[in-house]
Amino acid sequence: MIGQEIVYKTLEELNIKYDYYQSPEDFSNEDDGSFWSKIKATRCKNLFMRNHKGDRHFLLISDYYKNIDIHKFEQRFKKGKISFASQQRIDLYIKGTIGAISVFSLLNDKNNCVEVFIDESLRNSTRLTFLPNELDALIAISFEDFVRILDYAGNTYEFIDMS
């Protein structure tokens, strides 16, 4: 299966049921409704960000199709200018690749440096999809198991309105 070994070990250790999907060739195509309707889960967007000083890092998780107002996030939390983290920072904190970051990336953050903010609307989802820290595959899990993974990883997290 495609994905980092730590993802599957953790799912097994926590006895989490999941569905595994290998990506169709047009996986990144937003118009591929047929693939997404088959799996009956909310497609999640995961943004790994940093503050302007580079001393704080954030994982923002929301519905893939929802716009996140980064400027509103900056103003609300007074964390300074927020921007996308570089591959170098990804390697240092969560060990993944740009475009393949997800809740499972937190399993690599042994010092719990990354703060997590989750869009409130995801609470209404029965199932969520995440990349297993690599491209070309998806893992679908229940919302409850998503929270279990957050708790297991140990990072601070908060549900907020990101719109």
Domain of 154: which CATH number? 3.90.960.10
Give this prediction's pTM.
0.91
Answer yes or no: is 131 within a domain.
Answer: yes
Tens-digit pLDDT profile for residues 77-102? 776 789 999 999 999 999 988 889 99
In whole angstroms, give the CA distance from residue 63 to residue 92: 26
Answer yes or no: is 61 within a domain.
Answer: yes
Can you give the residue range of the structural domain that contains 60? 5-24+38-160
Q: What share of the chain is helix, strand, coil (3-state, %, to 5)?
A: 35, 25, 40
Tens-digit pLDDT profile for residues 13-43? 999 999 999 876 545 555 566 777 788 899 9
Answer yes or no: is 70 within a domain.
Answer: yes
Answer yes or no: is 31 within a domain.
Answer: no
DSSP code string of 15-75? T---EEEEPPTTTT-TT-HHHHHHHTSEEEEEEEEEETTSS-EEEEEEETTS---HHHHHH
Q: How many domains is the chain partitioned into structurally?
A: 1
